[in-house]
Each structure stands twice: as structure tokens, then as C-alpha cells.
Amino acid sequence: MMTLLKYDFRRNWNTLLAGLAVLIIVQIGLAMFMSDITGSVIGIMAYVGVGVAIYVKMIKTYWSNIRSYNRRLVPVTGLSHVLSPIIFGTLCGLGLVAVATIHYFIFSATHTDINVNFVGFINDSGIQVSKILTLLLFSWWMALFMTIIIFLSISIGGSFRFKTGPWISIIAFFVITNLISWLENMIFSARFNPNELFQITEQSSGFSITSNRIMGSDGTWTNIIFEIIVAVILVGIAVYLNNKKVEV
């Protein structure tokens, strides 16, 4: 798998460097020519845009891994073709988070007149750091689970020789997501409710944000275990289709 991951990074290295350079230039331009509030909003949107671009690149990397004849010649297992794009996207995402963190500390050090202390805001709101980390880990798992479904949908579409393969992938994606949702509703009674994460109350001094729970539902962890089992099954099906059915 490390061999394929190395090829993925080597193939996309110029694109990643170009995206990083553009992001840095955009952030510098916003800091020089925009007001602090406007620049911060547009800057956050730029980070979100780069994150979406990384996710799309990860999907395209998977498609290239299973459809490219040259990639099939790489001496790796079929599972590596699934895991390599996931690790690639995760490492790129962590790199983007690292750049955003450095940007935040630089902005805080150079704008002492502006209150941008998010850590202090979290402490004042009563939200524990451990719960924030749990929420981030939970969000990462939701993104990973959705990625596995997308990968399987691409493999299903690639198993057909017709030009309607992309449409079959789209239909397969909606069928799989709805089937899994239906199974979870049938098996579990306690579902995760995003509205229960935080509660916003209005006070005389302003708004107060409190954390009710992040993983407090009795069925939340059970749902995650169920989704892990389903994810393993989906990965197994994708590997089988890639090895036996997908045309190169």
C-alpha cells in the first residue's frame, strides 16, 4: 500500500503545491487589501474550498487507481487501491488543518486589538476540549463512511461496460445510502440528533452557548459500531468488484 500511496502523492504533488501556493497568496492578499472581518470570512471560505478540492481529488485518485492499466501493474493488493486514496485524503486534510492553525496563530499575534481567542471562547461557553475532539473524530468518521460508499458506487458503475456507468454509480450511491439509513432505523431506536450537540440561549448580556452532549445517546456508539461493520463489508465488495469486474 505504501508503494501506491507514494505514487498517489508523486502524481498529485504539483497540484498540491500549486493549491497551497494559491491559498497562501489569497490569504496574503486578503490581509493586505480587505478589512479584518471581510478578509476572515473570505479566508475561511477559501479554506473550505481547498478542503472540497482535496476531497474531489481523493475521489479522482480512487477512480484512477481502479481504472488505470498502469496502476494495475503496481504490485499491491486490491485493498490498497481503496485504502491508499483514503490515507492520501486524510494526510492532505491534516496538512490543510496545520496550515489553518499556523495562519490562526499568526493572525492572533499580528492583530492583538481583535479578540480572536477561540480557546477562551470555548472555555467560556462551557464546552470541554475532550468533547470537541470527540466531535471532530465523529465528523471524520462520517466523512470516511460516506467516502467508502462513494468508492463502492464508483466500483459498481465501473463494472458495466456501457457508457451509462457514471449514472449507474449515482443511482448506486443513493440506493446504498438509503438502504443503510433504512437498516439503522429498523435496528436501532436511538438515533444521533445533531440538534442536541449545542444549545444557544439568549441572556441579557448576549448569547450563551452550552454543550449538552456530543456522544451521549445510548444508540450513537452502537450505530457507529454497526457502521464500522457495514463499512468493512462495503470495502470487501469494492475490492471484489475492482479485482473481478471493473474494466481497465
Counting every residue written for the chain, the total comes to: 248
- CA-to-CA distance for 160 and 171, rounded, in angstroms? 13
Flag whether pLDDT at 133 surpasses 70: yes
CB atoms within 10 A of CB 41: 13
Give, in order, the Cα–Cα distances in Å from 191 to each of 5, 218, 219.
Answer: 36, 8, 6
Phi/psi class of residue 126: alpha, beta or left (left: φ > 0; alpha: ψ in -120 to 50)?
A: left
Flag whether pLDDT at 7 surpasses 90: no
Give the model's pLDDT for residue 145. 92
Assigned C-alpha cell, 112: 492583538
Return the bridge partners of 207, or none: 202
What average pLDDT is seen over the chain?
A: 78
Reported as a single tens digit per residue, the pLDDT across 180-228 is: 888 888 877 544 444 444 444 545 544 444 444 444 444 567 778 888 9
CA atoms within 13 Å, Cβ hemisphere of 223: 23
Torsion over CA: 105, 107, 110, 113 (sign): negative
**152 class by beta-carbon count within 10 Å (0-12 exposed, 13-18 middle, 19+ buried):** buried
Reported as a single tens digit per residue, the pLDDT across 20-71 is: 898 889 888 888 887 777 888 888 899 999 999 999 999 998 988 887 766 6
Q: Give the type of residue at 206.
A: G
Q: Which of 197, 194, 205, 210 is nearest to 122 (CA)?
A: 210
Flag whether pLDDT at 176 surpasses 70: yes
- CA-to-CA distance for 246 and 72, rounded, in angstroms? 11
Q: ∠ CA(216), CA(217), CA(222), 5° rounding?
A: 115
Q: Which of 219, 144, 235, 229 is nearest to 187 (CA)?
A: 219
Assigned C-alpha cell, 81: 487501491
Query: 66 and 246 in contact (C-beta within 8 Å)?
Result: yes
Q: Over pLDDT 90: what percentage of the chain?
A: 23
Name the least confident of 126-140, 146-160, 172-186, 214-228.
214-228
Mean pLDDT, residues 154-169 taken together: 83
Flag whether pLDDT at 165 surpasses 60: yes
Report how far Cα 101 is from the mean position of its chain's Cα atoms. Answer: 17
H-type alpha helices, 126-203: 129-158, 165-187
Query: 8 and 1 in contact (C-beta within 8 Å)?
Result: no
Give the model's pLDDT for residue 197. 45
Categorize the per-residue pLDDT at 237 as very low, low, confident or very high, splitting at 50, 70 and 90.
very high
Which residue is it, cell 472555555?
Answer: 123
